[in-house]
Amino acid sequence: MNKRKLWPLLSLLVIVSMLAVACGGEEATATPKPEPTEAPAATAAPPTGGELEIFSWWTAGGEADGLNAMYGIYSGKYPDVEIINATVAGGAGSNAQAVLATRMQAGDPPDSFQVHAGHELIDSWVVADKMEPVTSIFEENDWLDSYPPGVIDVLSYDGDIWSVPVNIHRSNVLWYNKAVFADNGLTAPTTFDEFFAVADALQGAGVTPLALGDNGIWAATHLFESVLLGSMGPEAYRGLWDGSTDWNGAEVNSALETYTQMMEYVNEDHAALSWDQAAQLVADGDAAMTIMGDWAEGYFKSIGMTPDVEFGYVPSPGTAGTFIMLSDSFGLPKGAPDRDNAVAWLTVCGSKEGQDAFNPLKGSIPARTDGDRSLYDAYLQSAMDDFSSNEIAPSLAHGAAASTGWVTAFNDVMTLFVADLDVDSAQEGMAQACADAGVCE
Amino acid sequence: MSHARRERWIAFLMVLPSIILIAIFVYGFIAWTTTVSLSKWDGVEPDYTWAGLENFKQLFTKEGGVSAKRFNIDLWNTLFFTVLFMLACVVFGLLLAILLDQRVKGEGIFRTIYLFPMALSFVVTGVVWQWIFAPGTSTRLRGVNALLHAVGLDALRWKWFTETNEIWHFHVALIPVIIAAAWQLIGYTMAMYLAGLRGIPEELREAARVDGASEIGIYRHVVMPLLRPITFSALIVLGHTSLKIFDLVYTMTGSGPGFATDVPGIFMFETTFQGNHYAQGATISVIMLLMVALVIIPYLIYTFRQEVEL
Q: For residue A202, give every residue at least 6 positions away whose Cβ sits within 8 Å of its Cβ, in sequence order, or none.
A: A180, A184, A186, A208, A209, A265, A288
* pLDDT tens by residue, B187-203: 999 999 999 999 999 99
Which H or E run contains A114? strand A112-116
Chain B residues within 8 A of A208 when measuring between CB atoms: 137, 139
CA A210/CA A267 separation, integer angstroms = 7
CA–CA separation, A201 and A182 (whole Å): 12
Residue A38 pLDDT more than 50? Answer: no
Phi/psi-derived region of residue A90, left when phi > 0, alpha when psi is between -120 and 50, beta in every other case: left
Question: Which residues have a Cβ under 8 Å from the Cβ of A426 and sit 6 or more positions away?
Answer: A256, A413, A414, A416, A417
Is residue B41 within 8 angstroms of chain A, CB to CB? Answer: no
Q: Which residue type occupies A336?
A: A
Q: Which of A200, A198, A194 is nearest to A182 (CA)?
A: A198
* pLDDT above 50 for A24: no
**pLDDT above 90 as % of chain A:** 82
Domain with CATH 3.40.190.10 in chain A: 51-169+327-389, 170-325+396-436
Determine the Cα–Cα distance for residues A267 and B139; give it in Å rounded to an integer.
10
**pLDDT in single tens digits along all 310 residues of chain B:** 578 889 999 999 999 999 999 999 999 999 999 999 999 999 888 899 999 999 999 999 988 899 999 999 999 999 999 999 999 999 999 999 999 998 888 889 999 999 999 999 999 999 999 999 999 887 788 899 999 999 999 899 999 999 999 999 999 999 999 999 999 999 999 999 999 999 999 999 899 999 998 988 999 999 999 999 899 889 999 998 999 999 999 999 999 999 999 999 999 999 998 889 999 999 999 999 999 999 888 888 888 887 776 6
* Closest residue on chain A to B15 (Cα): A12
Please tell me the distance from the alpha carbon of residue B115 to that of residue A6, in angstroms, as a whole number: 41
B162/chain A closest Cα distance in angstroms: 6
Predicted pLDDT at B89 = 97
Confidence of residue A431 (pLDDT cuts 50, 70, 90): very high
Q: How far apart are CA B310 and CA B304, in angstroms?
A: 10
Domains of chain B as residue ranges with CATH? 69-262 (1.10.3720.10)
Quick check: B68 and B59 in contact, CB under 8 A?
Answer: yes
A404 touches chain B (CB under 8 A): yes
Beta bridge partners of B136: B141
A98 and chain B in contact, CB less than 8 A: yes
Contacts of B45 in chain A (CB under 8 A): 128
CATH code reported for the domain at A170-325+396-436: 3.40.190.10
CA B243 centroid distance within chain? 5
Cβ neighbours for B277, distance < 8 A, ≥ 6 positions apart: A405, A408, B42, B271
CA-based nearest residue to A171, from A216, A223, A116: A223
Give the residue from chain A lying closest to B251, CA to CA.
A215
pLDDT at A316 over 60: yes
Q: Which residues of A touch B14 (CB under 8 A)?
A: 8, 11-12
Helix (H, G, I), strand (E, B) or coil at A237: helix
Q: Over the stretch B272-304, which tens digit does the pLDDT of each residue have? A: 988 899 999 999 999 999 999 998 888 888 888
Helix (H) or strand (E) segment spanning residue A391: strand A391-394
- Segment 58-87 of chain B within 8 Å of chain A by CB: 65-67, 69-70
Q: How far apart are alpha carbons B118 and A344 in whole angstroms?
A: 51
Identify the CATH number of the domain defined by range A51-169+327-389: 3.40.190.10
Q: Do A269 and B137 touch (CB under 8 A)?
A: yes
Does residue A104 belong to the interface with chain B, where contact is any CB pair within 8 Å? Answer: yes
Read off the pLDDT of residues B221-260 as tens digits, 9 standing for 90 and up. Answer: 999 999 998 998 899 999 989 999 999 999 999 999 999 9
B260 by Cβ neighbours in 10 Å (0-12 / 13-18 / 19+) ranks as buried
Contact A271 B259 (CB under 8 A): no
Can you tell me the distance from the alpha carbon of A124 to that of A386, in angstroms, rounded to the nearest whole number?
Answer: 30
| ipTM value for the complex | 0.90
Instruction: List Cβ neighbours of A47 (8 Å cut-off, separation of 6 or more).
Output: A78, A80, A81, A338, A340, A341, A344
Contacts of B256 in chain A (CB under 8 A): 271, 415
